[in-house]
Amino acid sequence: MGNQFRNSKTEEEIESQIEDEVIPEVIEKAEIPRNFFTLMFTEGVISKQAATDMLPFIIFIAFLGMIYIGNRHLAENNIRDIDKLGKQVKELSWDFKTLKADLMLKSTQTEVAKEVDTLGLMEPNEPSKKIVITEGEFK
pLDDT per position as a tens digit, 20-57: 555 555 677 777 777 777 777 666 667 777 778 889 99
Where do the structural domains in the chain lie, given as residue ranges? 30-111
| Residue 120 Ramachandran class (φ > 0 left, ψ -120 to 50 alpha, else beta) | left
Please enumerate, as own/partner, the contacts of 37-44 that have beta carbons within 8 Å and a separation of 24 or more: none
pLDDT band at 9 (very low <50, low <70, confident <90, very high): low
pLDDT band at 105 (very low <50, low <70, confident <90, very high): very high
Question: Using an 8 Å Cβ cutoff, are 95 and 88 in contact?
Answer: no
Instruction: Say what the pTM is.
Output: 0.47
Report whether pLDDT(87) > 80. Answer: yes
Give me the pLDDT at residue 20, please: 59
